Amino acid sequence: MSEPRRVYLLNSVKNAMRILHLYTEDRQELGISDMARRLKLSKSTVHRLVQTLEEEGFLEKNKRTQRYHLGWNLLQLSGVVINHMGMFREAIPLIENLAQKWGEAVHIGILEGAEFVYLHKAEGPDPAELLSHIGKRNPASCTSGGKILLAHLPEKYLAPILEQGLPGCGPRSITDPKDFRRHLKEIRETGYVISVDELHPGAVSIATPIRDYTGEMVAALSMAGPTDRIPEAKFAAIADDVVRYGGEISQQLGYF
């Protein structure tokens, strides 16, 4: 295959994935024109990609509105993800207990490239508005869970993430790669991380790693809430609990 042809095909795959990523809980149907406008692609290009996705069962057309929604084949793929999430099923009572104890949201999440993805979430009796529903992706460098995992990432995987740039999500996000590397070193030394105003203003989160039976870091446990409910005076006590619960979940996965 010639190089131009290969590049064209790779771009087509990338743009097809971009179409799928347009869908959210609040945006469940899209038309060709809307997709083209959002992606800054021609309508003809989007139409070809949508036809392919429809043929493969990843999109379905609403004949009444002439717009497209996600197809059932994505549900089959989600089964693979759910099986992965199942490894943490026994941890659900623990994170629910931790959420009830402190009245704040508790998450289990994993690292995917430069993003932190939330797999499980438990909330307290008075849930706060957070950017952390199940399946939500946030820049790893702006989240406590993402940073605890980045801190232990091998250099060959960390370097490309830093090279592509660090986003400034909140007023205290660290965007300079050298400063961020120093921060990761501090995280490795403490074993947990506290992030304040990094994902968005007025939010604090505290995270610790989850390890499997091999000792590999497979996920992060984090608690998050508004700064007016988690003042600095509570940081140490919450961090102790998060680390302890993270250790218990790791033991469930065979880590001793």
The number of distinct structural domains making up the chain is 2
Spatial distance between the Cα atoms of 238 and 241, rounded to a whole number of angstroms: 5
Q: How confident is the model at residue 38 (pLDDT cuts 50, 70, 90)?
A: very high
Q: Specify whether 235 is located in the same domain as 138.
A: yes
> What kind and span of H or E run contains 113?
none
Spatial distance between the Cα atoms of 75 and 211, rounded to a whole number of angstroms: 28
Tokens 């980045």 belong to residue: 150
Per-residue pLDDT reduced to its tens digit, 61-75: 998 999 999 987 776
Position 96, amino acid: E
Q: Specify whether 214 is located in the same domain as 122.
A: yes
Q: Specify whether 23 is located in the same domain as 108.
A: no
> CA triplet 71, 74, 77: central angle to 5 degrees?
160
Of 14, 44, 71, the residue at which a domain comes to its end is 71
Cross-strand bridge partners of residue 223: 106, 206
Q: Specify whether 52 is located in the same domain as 105.
A: no
CATH of the domain at 223: 3.30.450.40
Among 188, 104, 197, 106, which residue's Cα sits nearest to residue 149?
A: 188
Q: Specify whether 34 is located in the same domain as 144.
A: no
Specify whether the CB–CB gap between 204 and 172 falls below 8 A. Answer: no
Domain that holds residue 9: 3-71
CA-CA-CA-CA torsion sign (84, 195, 242, 251): positive
And the tokens for 103?
């009245």
Per-residue pLDDT reduced to its tens digit, 80-117: 565 555 678 889 999 999 999 999 999 999 998 899 98
Q: Specify whether 195 is located in the same domain as 109.
A: yes
Of 36, 71, 106, the residue at which a domain comes to its end is 71
The helix, strand and coil proportions of the chain, stated in percent and rounded to the nearest 5, come to: 50, 20, 30
pLDDT at 238 over 60: yes
Of 71, 88, 122, the residue at which a domain comes to its end is 71
Per-residue pLDDT reduced to its tens digit, 111-142: 988 999 898 899 988 888 777 788 888 999 99
Q: Specify whether 103 is located in the same domain as 185.
A: yes
Q: Specify whether 116 is located in the same domain as 67.
A: no
Q: Specify whether 58 is located in the same domain as 29.
A: yes
CATH of the domain at 33: 1.10.10.10
Q: Specify whether 51 is located in the same domain as 172.
A: no
Q: Specify whether 198 is located in the same domain as 86.
A: yes
Q: Specify whether 60 is located in the same domain as 171.
A: no
Q: What pTM value is reported for the model?
A: 0.71
